[in-house]
Structures are given as C-alpha cells and as structure tokens.
Structure 1
C-alpha cells in the first residue's frame, strides 16, 4: 500500500471515528444548527490547471472521487480547456485577507498564467454531516494540488488560499481527524471555506460560508470613534477575529447558548436568495453596535 493510500485511509478513519452522534455539544463533538430552510448547502470547488490541462485535471478529480470523494461530481459543462479571463479578477477578490500568509506572489502568477479550469461539486449536506463533508472537500483540494492543479478556490463562499496555505489547512485537518478532535476539525474547515469579513461600515461586516460547517453566519454592526473615516485594515481584522471567536463558541456551546450569552439575535439569511450557494439555511447571528 503506497503512502498516499495510507494517508487517505488514515484521514478517512479519523473522520469516521470523530463523527458526532447528536447535535448536542459534548466533549470534542461540535454543535450544529437547526435548519430554517429546505435548502441544503454544498461545496463548489474551482481548480486551475496548465495550458491544455483539463484532461489531467479530470483524471485527478475522478481518481479523488474513486478514492474518497463519494458524492462529489465533476461539472464538465462548466469546465474548460482554455484560460478564463475572469479568473484573475475573481481570485483577487476572493484571496483570504485575514491570514497574513494566505497567498504569495507565485500563487497570483499561477492564476494569471493558467490554461484550464475544472469545477467539482460536493453533495448537498445536512447540518450533522457538514463538517465531515467539508473535511473531505479540503482533502479533495489538497489531492488536486498534489496532482496537477496550480490554484484552488472555494466558490460557495468565494474564498481562495495559496498552495502553501491550503496545505497548512489540510495538515491541521488531518491532525484533528487523527486525534478525533472534531472541534478543531470544524474550526479548520470553517477557516478554509468561509470568508470574512464581508460588508461595509454602514450595514456591518459578516461571514459567508459558515453553513458549510452547519452553523449560522455572523454579522457585526459596529460603532467607531471616527465615523467620518472608513474602517481601517486593523479594525476589519478585529471584526474578523470576533467573527471567528463567535464561530468557535457556537461550535463548542451551540447556537442557542451563544445567542443567550451574548444577548443577540438569530434570524433568517436575507442577504441572498434561497437558491444561491451563499445562502445560509441556518440563519445569521447578529451582534449590534460593537465598539471598535
């Protein structure tokens, strides 16, 4: 048995052993939210390849599906064996701006010089299967980057990381799965596939993509000392840190406990239509008038 096969089996074994048996937060099992909609979230993964590289990307994706990606499918209609002029702008918008090492110049160069595009769709997810399915999606990303892809992006929330950052996130997920620490696994998947902060100073800033780990998104409205100037990068990073803190707390304690503890509200997601991939069927937790 080769090292890749052993790694796949070890990772999947950790996911199976760590799978929660109920929605109650207990020990290392994360809480997940009750759905407020019939919509079921799913991953859309975008992979870029070299010139005339679609055949190689397809071969790698099909191998990944056969090894561990049950329920994942290739979107051949949306894929293309030529550059997509929209990709440079799309990745520029979607690069994670929170982690300081999220992407490098080499990652931007790879996007700029790509020659093929492949899309992969994940299966529709229930809240209780979201973390393990997202862990498989993260494994799918790493497999593709190891087998011909030169860049990757999570289309559902619109977030991209560079090759080194994707690998770092995958290694964190593998370690969490091996130690059966599903709280850590849920956090890593959230950092990999959710984007934050999205929004503006007037309406507030939020996460997008928490539904990929079975949680509501978090919206922060805030009060600033000088409301005549736009929020700074430092202030936006502070908002992102609070969004992550609340996400961690919801994972540990459950949504209802966080809503009660922080005296906040949980409401339907009205930011997106119900048939959009960014729509969160678990709702949005809103923290109002946070002082920066």
Structure 2
C-alpha cells in the first residue's frame, strides 16, 4: 500500500512538472493502472467530476470501502486522490475513533472512502468499470469482476419481426463491435446467406412457449387494438403460464416447457460471453419471459 501511494504521488509530481514546462494546466485527469487488463473501453468523456470503479469484491469487514484502483475526473479532485494520502493519515485515524465501527488501522479502500467522501466530499460517481489484475508472472485474475456483475445483465436483446433487418444489426454487433453469440447457432440457408445470428436453443424455447399455449409467431388472433386505436397490444401470450390451455382448463406440461432454457442460461450467464446478443423474432411476443430469465420479475 505504501509503495502504491508513493507511486501515485510521484506520478502526480511528474504531471505538475509537465504542466510547468509547457505552461499549461489539464482540466481533467485520469489515473489508470498499467498492471491490469481492461475488458472493455472506459469512456472518460463525461461531465462527472469524480469517477471511480464500483467495488469488485464483497467487503463485509470494511463496509465503507470503495475501489481505490482507478480514478478520472476534474483535475483538483484527481490531485486529492493522488497526492493527499500521506498528509491525511492522522486525520483518518482520529476520525475512525468517532465512528461506531470497531475497525482500526489504515485499510486502503476504507481510507480512500474517508478521503473522498468525508474529508473532501467529492461529488463521486461509482461506475461499473471492469478490469482484471495481472500478476508479475503473467497470470490474470479472471474473477475480478464477478462480484460487480453478480446481478447485472451484460448484453443486448435485438427485437423485430422477420425480414426487418435484425440479422444485419446483430451481425454488426458481433462482427464489428465484439459482441458474443453464445451457444449453437442456427445455420445459414437460402433465406439468409450471411447468417441469422440466432441461438438455436433461444429460438426453440420460444417455439415451445408459444406452442404449449396453442400459438405460433404468425398467429395474430391475440392482437387487440388499444382504446385509442393507435397501438397494437398483444394480450394473448401469458409469460407466467407453464401449461397448455384447452377448453378453459390448464394442463401442466412440467419440465418440457423449459427444455431449452437450461442451455441458454449456461451460455448467456457465463462471464466470458459478455457482452452478448440475444435475437429471435419471437422475442417480440415472449420478451417478458426472457427478462424474467435474466433479471427477475419484469
């Protein structure tokens, strides 16, 4: 920790020397570690005055702790983050005694929380920025972001009916923007020679959900007009149902109703497949079921 603080202070001194030599002053400053692998771009072109990453691990012993591995924002806040550590230790230890916590001593993440929240009261924004530490032997700590993403969906659902351009959009995301299409894919054919960019189990699960309720994607009997006759509202598909409805009675269909869902979850909830693309025209009807699958009750 002490070496880290010395390094940060030295870097800030170099920045000030550069400013003096060039008679210029930076308005915004970013302090990024070089011994990490950034898994996605970091957008620093924001109006936020002080940004740090969200905490990457569960910390029950130091509940006030914040992530101390990265900072970007306005220059004067960056200066505090980088150079006001040694001079604030005594104040931090004195402040600890006024709190209800039994924790004592200098803990880096807790100290930085005191520095930026209590002492300087920065307008702080904690942002989900994923990067993985790289050890001196080259090993990458691949689980560094698991806690951060524990309840978050990392992907895009592409919606639109057949022949509406969804394959083109999904293809652009996969081939040009490094999105993933996990699992088994539906193969190309004469209808779409460049690819559908659809997961096989997603499409089949949608078929099962619709078929078990006596519906298909081209069955429009359930569409009704809204009161003002301006929108179409699909009221027939029941995402909470897991039964076949015949003559007003519900017959439970059991695990068959979710037979492809296990495969979908296995691939789409894997961190290495973030960010992903989920695409199938039937999702226009079954969207609530997919939201429930990845997030919870819609």
What's the TM-score, normalizing by structure 2? 0.24
Higher strand share: 1
Instruction: Name which one, 1 or 2, has greater alpha-carbon Rg.
Output: 2
Task: Identify the structure with bigger relative contact order (alpha carbons < 8 Å, sequence gap 6+).
Answer: 1
What's the TM-score, normalizing by structure 1? 0.24
